[in-house]
Amino acid sequence: MFLGIILALSSGIALGSITSFAALSYQHGVEPLGLIALRGLIAAVIMLAVCVVQKESMVLKKGGVKYALMIGTALSMVGFGYMSSVAYITPGLAVAILFLFPIVVLAIDSLRLRKMPPAATITGFGIALVGIVSCVGIGGPLHPVGIL
């Protein structure tokens, strides 16, 4: 349990610092694509080391390759969009927009199921949205490329 808590805390700290570090990198001449490529390389090296230390196989089962490629593509798109956004908008606004995804999932599921979510769920999402905006702020330039 302790290891799980440490892993969750470290991933939260890392996720929370990514946007600010990306913005600083861009101020020092780093391009978004270069940053994303370096991030992917570092992740690959770390995961290789974890697999070696834990003696885990890196071979995917036949049925899992398609899904691993889909997940990898989706995560790459998220990373590229998120990291690139702070070249155009403030890190706070980028975080606020990124964390709208649960609301998007809720809306899509509601449309797919043709059923409104319970009032408590909608209220909870509203409170969460206000909390995110209050914590990170949304001031700064609203460049369309950074928002899309």
- Within a domain: residue 72? yes
Distance of CA 58 to the CA centre of its chain: 24
How many domains is the chain built from? 2
131 inside domain? yes
Read out DSSP for 19-51?
HHHHHHHHHTT--HHHHHHHHHHHHHHHHHHHH
Can you give the pLDDT of all 148 residues of the chain as single tens digits? 888 899 899 988 988 888 888 888 988 999 888 888 898 899 899 989 988 998 888 888 888 899 999 998 998 888 888 888 888 888 888 888 888 888 888 888 999 999 999 999 989 988 988 887 787 766 666 556 555 5
pLDDT of residue 55: 87
Which residue has 């995917």 as its token pair?
A: 60
pLDDT tens digit sequence for 62-87: 888 999 999 989 988 888 888 888 88
In a domain, 1, yes or no: no
Domain for residue 7, yes or no?
no
Q: How far is it, in rounded angstroms, from Cα 113 to Cα 93?
A: 31
- The span from the CA of 105 to the CA of 110, in Å, is 8
Residue 67 lies in a domain: yes
Determine, yes or no, domain membership for 24.
no
Per DSSP, 140 falls in state: S
Element (H, E) at 83: helix 64-85
Is residue 18 situated within a structural domain?
no
> What pTM, to 2 d.p., does this model score?
0.64
Give the whole-angstrom CA distance, residue 125 versus residue 103: 7
Q: Strands, DSSP E only, in the chain? A: none
Phi-psi region of 20 (alpha: psi -120 to 50; beta: other; left: phi over 0): alpha
Q: Domain range for residue 103?
A: 89-148
